[in-house]
Structure 1
Protein backbone atom coordinates (compact mmCIF):
# COMPACT_ATOMS: atom_id res chain seq x y z
CA UNK A 1 0.00 0.00 0.00
CA UNK A 2 1.28 3.44 -0.94
CA UNK A 3 1.81 6.08 1.73
CA UNK A 4 0.05 9.47 1.61
CA UNK A 5 2.04 12.33 3.12
CA UNK A 6 1.83 16.09 3.47
CA UNK A 7 4.39 18.65 4.53
CA UNK A 8 3.60 22.23 5.47
CA UNK A 9 5.84 25.14 6.35
CA UNK A 10 4.68 26.39 9.73
CA UNK A 11 5.34 29.30 12.08
CA UNK A 12 5.75 28.84 15.83
CA UNK A 13 2.25 30.29 16.29
CA UNK A 14 0.78 27.76 13.88
CA UNK A 15 0.38 29.74 10.65
CA UNK A 16 0.73 27.68 7.46
CA UNK A 17 -0.75 30.11 4.92
CA UNK A 18 1.64 31.97 2.61
CA UNK A 19 4.92 30.77 4.18
CA UNK A 20 6.87 33.05 1.83
CA UNK A 21 5.67 35.91 4.06
CA UNK A 22 7.41 34.52 7.15
CA UNK A 23 10.06 32.11 5.91
CA UNK A 24 12.70 34.83 5.42
CA UNK A 25 16.18 33.27 5.36
CA UNK A 26 15.31 30.21 7.48
CA UNK A 27 15.12 27.79 4.54
CA UNK A 28 18.42 25.96 4.86
CA UNK A 29 20.33 23.00 3.44
CA UNK A 30 18.70 20.60 5.92
CA UNK A 31 15.19 21.56 4.73
CA UNK A 32 16.44 21.23 1.16
CA UNK A 33 17.59 17.67 1.87
CA UNK A 34 14.14 16.84 3.25
CA UNK A 35 12.44 18.18 0.13
CA UNK A 36 14.88 16.26 -2.07
CA UNK A 37 13.98 13.08 -0.19
CA UNK A 38 10.29 13.81 -0.83
CA UNK A 39 10.92 14.47 -4.52
CA UNK A 40 12.75 11.14 -4.82
CA UNK A 41 9.92 9.08 -3.28
CA UNK A 42 6.76 10.79 -4.61
CA UNK A 43 5.27 10.04 -8.01
CA UNK A 44 1.75 11.40 -7.46
CA UNK A 45 0.60 14.77 -6.08
CA UNK A 46 -2.85 15.74 -4.81
CA UNK A 47 -3.81 19.42 -4.70
CA UNK A 48 -6.84 21.43 -3.69
CA UNK A 49 -8.27 24.03 -6.06
CA UNK A 50 -6.63 27.08 -4.51
CA UNK A 51 -3.14 25.55 -4.45
CA UNK A 52 -3.63 24.19 -7.96
CA UNK A 53 -4.58 27.59 -9.35
CA UNK A 54 -1.70 29.37 -7.60
CA UNK A 55 0.88 26.74 -8.50
CA UNK A 56 -0.31 26.30 -12.11
CA UNK A 57 0.35 30.01 -12.65
CA UNK A 58 3.81 29.96 -11.05
CA UNK A 59 5.61 26.64 -11.52
CA UNK A 60 5.43 26.12 -15.31
CA UNK A 61 7.44 29.33 -15.78
CA UNK A 62 9.37 29.42 -12.49
CA UNK A 63 12.79 30.99 -12.69
CA UNK A 64 13.71 30.02 -9.10
CA UNK A 65 13.66 26.67 -7.29
CA UNK A 66 14.53 24.75 -10.45
CA UNK A 67 14.76 21.40 -8.63
CA UNK A 68 11.19 21.64 -7.37
CA UNK A 69 9.94 22.93 -10.73
CA UNK A 70 11.59 19.95 -12.44
CA UNK A 71 9.64 17.69 -10.06
CA UNK A 72 6.23 19.38 -9.83
CA UNK A 73 5.66 20.19 -13.50
CA UNK A 74 5.84 16.64 -14.98
CA UNK A 75 4.55 14.69 -11.93
CA UNK A 76 1.01 13.31 -12.12
CA UNK A 77 -1.30 15.72 -10.29
CA UNK A 78 -4.88 15.16 -9.13
CA UNK A 79 -6.96 18.18 -8.17
CA UNK A 80 -9.87 18.23 -5.71
CA UNK A 81 -12.35 20.92 -6.72
CA UNK A 82 -16.08 21.50 -6.75
CA UNK A 83 -15.81 24.49 -9.10
CA UNK A 84 -13.13 23.75 -11.73
CA UNK A 85 -14.03 22.16 -15.04
CA UNK A 86 -11.67 20.00 -17.03
CA UNK A 87 -9.53 19.51 -18.86
CA UNK A 88 -6.90 21.23 -16.75
CA UNK A 89 -4.12 23.07 -18.55
CA UNK A 90 -1.13 22.37 -16.30
CA UNK A 91 0.87 19.37 -17.50
CA UNK A 92 -0.32 15.97 -16.13
CA UNK A 93 -3.17 17.54 -14.08
CA UNK A 94 -6.52 15.78 -13.70
CA UNK A 95 -9.70 16.62 -11.79
CA UNK A 96 -10.76 14.18 -9.10
CA UNK A 97 -14.16 12.76 -9.90
CA UNK A 98 -16.37 11.92 -6.91
CA UNK A 99 -15.45 11.80 -3.24
CA UNK A 100 -11.85 12.91 -2.59
CA UNK A 101 -11.34 10.59 0.42
CA UNK A 102 -12.45 7.57 -1.61
CA UNK A 103 -10.33 8.67 -4.58
CA UNK A 104 -7.15 9.06 -2.52
CA UNK A 105 -7.83 5.78 -0.69
CA UNK A 106 -8.10 4.10 -4.10
CA UNK A 107 -4.83 5.73 -5.21
CA UNK A 108 -3.16 4.23 -2.12
CA UNK A 109 -4.11 0.74 -3.27
CA UNK A 110 -2.51 1.16 -6.72
CA UNK A 111 1.12 0.48 -7.55
CA UNK A 112 3.53 3.39 -7.34
CA UNK A 113 5.55 5.61 -5.07
CA UNK A 114 4.36 7.89 -2.32
CA UNK A 115 1.48 10.30 -2.77
CA UNK A 116 2.03 13.86 -1.53
CA UNK A 117 -0.72 16.32 -0.70
CA UNK A 118 0.95 19.64 -1.51
CA UNK A 119 -0.19 22.97 -0.05
CA UNK A 120 -3.97 22.67 0.19
CA UNK A 121 -4.62 23.38 3.87
CA UNK A 122 -8.29 22.29 3.85
CA UNK A 123 -7.52 19.10 1.96
CA UNK A 124 -4.65 18.19 4.30
CA UNK A 125 -6.96 18.63 7.31
CA UNK A 126 -9.77 16.62 5.70
CA UNK A 127 -7.55 13.70 4.71
CA UNK A 128 -5.67 13.72 8.03
CA UNK A 129 -8.82 13.65 10.16
CA UNK A 130 -10.31 10.95 7.89
CA UNK A 131 -7.26 8.75 8.45
CA UNK A 132 -6.38 8.77 4.73
CA UNK A 133 -3.22 10.90 5.20
CA UNK A 134 -0.58 8.64 6.74
CA UNK A 135 1.93 11.29 7.81
CA UNK A 136 1.88 15.04 8.37
CA UNK A 137 5.21 16.86 8.48
CA UNK A 138 5.34 20.35 9.97
CA UNK A 139 8.45 22.37 9.16
CA UNK A 140 8.32 24.98 11.91
CA UNK A 141 10.32 28.12 11.22
CA UNK A 142 11.68 30.15 14.15
CA UNK A 143 9.23 33.01 13.66
CA UNK A 144 5.87 34.22 14.91
CA UNK A 145 3.80 35.05 11.84
CA UNK A 146 1.11 36.90 13.79
CA UNK A 147 -1.74 36.25 11.41
CA UNK A 148 -2.77 33.88 8.68
CA UNK A 149 -4.56 30.61 8.36
CA UNK A 150 -3.61 27.75 10.63
CA UNK A 151 -3.92 24.08 9.79
CA UNK A 152 -5.92 23.25 12.89
CA UNK A 153 -8.88 25.32 13.98
CA UNK A 154 -10.79 25.99 17.16
CA UNK A 155 -13.45 23.31 17.51
CA UNK A 156 -11.51 20.56 15.71
CA UNK A 157 -12.04 17.15 17.27
CA UNK A 158 -9.39 15.78 19.62
CA UNK A 159 -6.98 13.40 17.89
CA UNK A 160 -3.99 11.77 19.52
CA UNK A 161 -0.83 11.65 17.43
CA UNK A 162 2.31 9.55 17.16
CA UNK A 163 5.63 11.31 16.66
CA UNK A 164 7.26 9.50 13.74
CA UNK A 165 10.35 11.67 13.30
CA UNK A 166 11.86 14.96 14.44
CA UNK A 167 15.00 16.99 13.88
CA UNK A 168 16.24 20.55 14.07
CA UNK A 169 18.06 22.28 11.24
CA UNK A 170 21.09 24.54 11.32
CA UNK A 171 18.90 27.67 11.10
CA UNK A 172 16.58 26.67 13.94
CA UNK A 173 13.74 25.05 12.03
CA UNK A 174 12.13 22.10 13.79
CA UNK A 175 10.80 19.39 11.51
CA UNK A 176 8.28 17.02 13.07
CA UNK A 177 6.40 14.21 11.39
CA UNK A 178 3.20 12.85 12.93
CA UNK A 179 0.69 10.13 12.21
CA UNK A 180 -2.73 9.61 13.76
CA UNK A 181 -2.68 7.32 16.76
CA UNK A 182 -4.86 4.32 15.99
CA UNK A 183 -6.38 3.02 19.23
Structure 2
Protein backbone atom coordinates (compact mmCIF):
# COMPACT_ATOMS: atom_id res chain seq x y z
CA UNK A 1 0.00 0.00 0.00
CA UNK A 2 1.30 3.44 -0.94
CA UNK A 3 1.74 6.06 1.76
CA UNK A 4 -0.02 9.43 1.68
CA UNK A 5 1.94 12.32 3.19
CA UNK A 6 1.64 16.06 3.62
CA UNK A 7 4.25 18.56 4.75
CA UNK A 8 3.44 22.10 5.83
CA UNK A 9 5.50 25.05 6.94
CA UNK A 10 3.98 25.96 10.30
CA UNK A 11 4.40 28.99 12.56
CA UNK A 12 4.45 28.63 16.34
CA UNK A 13 0.93 30.10 16.42
CA UNK A 14 -0.32 27.52 13.91
CA UNK A 15 -0.41 29.56 10.70
CA UNK A 16 0.24 27.57 7.51
CA UNK A 17 -0.95 30.07 4.89
CA UNK A 18 1.60 32.07 2.88
CA UNK A 19 4.76 30.84 4.61
CA UNK A 20 6.78 32.94 2.16
CA UNK A 21 5.77 35.92 4.31
CA UNK A 22 7.31 34.59 7.53
CA UNK A 23 9.68 31.65 6.97
CA UNK A 24 12.39 33.19 4.78
CA UNK A 25 14.89 33.96 7.56
CA UNK A 26 14.65 30.53 9.21
CA UNK A 27 14.73 28.26 6.18
CA UNK A 28 18.00 26.34 6.47
CA UNK A 29 20.05 23.61 4.83
CA UNK A 30 18.38 20.88 6.89
CA UNK A 31 14.90 21.91 5.68
CA UNK A 32 16.24 21.98 2.13
CA UNK A 33 17.69 18.48 2.54
CA UNK A 34 14.38 17.24 3.96
CA UNK A 35 12.52 18.65 0.96
CA UNK A 36 14.99 16.86 -1.31
CA UNK A 37 14.36 13.57 0.48
CA UNK A 38 10.60 14.06 0.13
CA UNK A 39 10.99 14.73 -3.59
CA UNK A 40 12.88 11.43 -3.97
CA UNK A 41 10.00 9.44 -2.41
CA UNK A 42 6.92 11.17 -3.86
CA UNK A 43 5.85 10.26 -7.40
CA UNK A 44 2.22 11.46 -7.35
CA UNK A 45 0.64 14.74 -6.22
CA UNK A 46 -2.82 15.57 -4.86
CA UNK A 47 -3.88 19.20 -5.01
CA UNK A 48 -6.91 21.36 -4.31
CA UNK A 49 -8.31 23.79 -6.86
CA UNK A 50 -6.90 27.02 -5.44
CA UNK A 51 -3.38 25.65 -5.00
CA UNK A 52 -3.53 24.03 -8.41
CA UNK A 53 -4.53 27.29 -10.10
CA UNK A 54 -1.78 29.25 -8.31
CA UNK A 55 0.92 26.68 -9.02
CA UNK A 56 -0.23 26.07 -12.62
CA UNK A 57 0.32 29.78 -13.28
CA UNK A 58 3.83 29.74 -11.81
CA UNK A 59 5.66 26.39 -12.01
CA UNK A 60 5.36 25.58 -15.73
CA UNK A 61 7.10 28.90 -16.44
CA UNK A 62 9.64 28.79 -13.59
CA UNK A 63 13.31 28.71 -14.37
CA UNK A 64 14.49 25.22 -15.30
CA UNK A 65 17.21 25.29 -12.64
CA UNK A 66 14.70 25.26 -9.77
CA UNK A 67 14.73 21.77 -8.24
CA UNK A 68 11.10 21.97 -7.13
CA UNK A 69 9.94 22.98 -10.61
CA UNK A 70 11.90 20.08 -12.09
CA UNK A 71 10.16 17.81 -9.56
CA UNK A 72 6.55 19.05 -9.74
CA UNK A 73 6.12 19.75 -13.47
CA UNK A 74 6.41 16.16 -14.80
CA UNK A 75 4.69 14.59 -11.75
CA UNK A 76 1.16 13.16 -12.19
CA UNK A 77 -1.11 15.68 -10.42
CA UNK A 78 -4.67 14.84 -9.33
CA UNK A 79 -6.85 17.86 -8.56
CA UNK A 80 -9.85 17.86 -6.21
CA UNK A 81 -12.36 20.51 -7.26
CA UNK A 82 -16.11 21.04 -7.32
CA UNK A 83 -15.83 23.91 -9.80
CA UNK A 84 -13.16 23.01 -12.38
CA UNK A 85 -14.22 21.03 -15.42
CA UNK A 86 -12.72 19.77 -18.66
CA UNK A 87 -9.06 19.18 -19.39
CA UNK A 88 -6.47 20.80 -17.15
CA UNK A 89 -3.69 22.75 -18.87
CA UNK A 90 -0.69 21.98 -16.63
CA UNK A 91 1.11 18.89 -17.91
CA UNK A 92 0.12 15.56 -16.29
CA UNK A 93 -2.80 17.15 -14.39
CA UNK A 94 -6.06 15.26 -14.01
CA UNK A 95 -9.35 16.26 -12.42
CA UNK A 96 -10.65 13.84 -9.78
CA UNK A 97 -14.14 12.86 -10.93
CA UNK A 98 -15.21 10.54 -8.10
CA UNK A 99 -15.61 11.21 -4.37
CA UNK A 100 -12.21 12.30 -3.03
CA UNK A 101 -11.93 9.72 -0.28
CA UNK A 102 -12.79 6.85 -2.66
CA UNK A 103 -10.27 8.12 -5.21
CA UNK A 104 -7.49 8.48 -2.64
CA UNK A 105 -8.17 5.04 -1.13
CA UNK A 106 -7.90 3.53 -4.63
CA UNK A 107 -4.75 5.51 -5.41
CA UNK A 108 -3.14 4.23 -2.21
CA UNK A 109 -3.84 0.65 -3.33
CA UNK A 110 -2.15 1.23 -6.72
CA UNK A 111 1.52 0.71 -7.52
CA UNK A 112 4.03 3.50 -7.04
CA UNK A 113 5.89 5.62 -4.53
CA UNK A 114 4.53 7.98 -1.94
CA UNK A 115 1.64 10.33 -2.69
CA UNK A 116 2.07 13.94 -1.57
CA UNK A 117 -0.63 16.48 -0.77
CA UNK A 118 0.48 19.91 -2.00
CA UNK A 119 -0.81 23.49 -1.77
CA UNK A 120 -4.10 22.75 -0.02
CA UNK A 121 -4.85 23.27 3.66
CA UNK A 122 -8.43 21.98 3.28
CA UNK A 123 -7.32 18.82 1.46
CA UNK A 124 -4.80 18.00 4.20
CA UNK A 125 -7.52 18.46 6.84
CA UNK A 126 -10.09 16.38 4.98
CA UNK A 127 -7.70 13.49 4.34
CA UNK A 128 -6.32 13.56 7.90
CA UNK A 129 -9.77 13.45 9.52
CA UNK A 130 -10.88 10.75 7.03
CA UNK A 131 -8.02 8.56 8.28
CA UNK A 132 -6.26 8.47 4.90
CA UNK A 133 -3.18 10.58 5.69
CA UNK A 134 -0.27 8.37 6.79
CA UNK A 135 2.07 11.16 7.83
CA UNK A 136 1.74 14.86 8.54
CA UNK A 137 5.04 16.71 8.66
CA UNK A 138 4.88 20.08 10.38
CA UNK A 139 7.98 22.21 9.83
CA UNK A 140 7.57 24.56 12.79
CA UNK A 141 9.46 27.83 12.31
CA UNK A 142 10.48 29.94 15.31
CA UNK A 143 8.09 32.75 14.44
CA UNK A 144 4.64 33.98 15.41
CA UNK A 145 2.96 34.85 12.12
CA UNK A 146 0.03 36.64 13.75
CA UNK A 147 -2.40 36.31 10.87
CA UNK A 148 -3.28 33.75 8.23
CA UNK A 149 -5.15 30.47 7.91
CA UNK A 150 -4.39 27.83 10.46
CA UNK A 151 -4.40 24.10 9.86
CA UNK A 152 -6.62 23.31 12.83
CA UNK A 153 -9.69 25.27 13.91
CA UNK A 154 -12.28 25.27 16.68
CA UNK A 155 -14.71 22.41 16.20
CA UNK A 156 -12.24 19.94 14.70
CA UNK A 157 -12.77 16.41 15.97
CA UNK A 158 -10.59 15.09 18.78
CA UNK A 159 -7.86 13.20 16.90
CA UNK A 160 -5.01 11.32 18.59
CA UNK A 161 -1.66 11.44 16.85
CA UNK A 162 1.58 9.54 17.25
CA UNK A 163 4.99 11.17 16.79
CA UNK A 164 6.80 9.29 14.01
CA UNK A 165 9.92 11.44 13.76
CA UNK A 166 11.39 14.69 15.08
CA UNK A 167 14.38 16.87 14.25
CA UNK A 168 15.65 20.27 15.32
CA UNK A 169 17.48 22.26 12.66
CA UNK A 170 20.38 24.70 13.01
CA UNK A 171 18.08 27.75 12.76
CA UNK A 172 15.69 26.47 15.43
CA UNK A 173 13.03 24.87 13.26
CA UNK A 174 11.34 21.74 14.58
CA UNK A 175 10.39 19.15 11.99
CA UNK A 176 7.67 17.03 13.59
CA UNK A 177 6.13 14.13 11.68
CA UNK A 178 2.90 12.65 13.01
CA UNK A 179 0.63 9.81 12.04
CA UNK A 180 -2.79 8.82 13.32
CA UNK A 181 -2.55 6.84 16.54
CA UNK A 182 -4.02 3.36 16.20
CA UNK A 183 -6.99 2.44 18.38
* Structure 1 and Structure 2 fold alike (TM over 0.5): yes
Q: Secondary structure at the match of 2:24?
A: coil
Q: Secondary structure at the match of 2:165?
A: strand
Q: Secondary structure at the match of 1:24?
A: coil
Shift of 1:158: 0.5
Partner residue in 2 for 1:117? 117
Partner residue in 2 for 1:13? 13
Partner residue in 2 for 1:170? 170
Partner residue in 2 for 1:150? 150
Q: Secondary structure at the match of 2:103?
A: helix
Aligned residue pairs: how many? 183
Q: Secondary structure at the match of 1:102?
A: helix
After TM superposition, the structure 1 = structure 2 runs for residues 27-176 of structure 1, keeping only pairs within 5 Å, are: 27-63=27-63, 66-176=66-176
**Structure 1: which 5+ runs fail to align?**
none
* TM superposition outliers: structure 1 runs of 4+ over 6 Å: none
**Structure 2: which 5+ runs fail to align?**
none
Give distance in 2, aligned partners of 1:161 and 1:84: 33
Contact 1:86/1:94 (8 A) holds in 2? no
Shift of 1:85: 1.0
Shift of 1:65: 7.0
Indicate the RMSD between aligned Cα atoms, in angstroms. 1.0
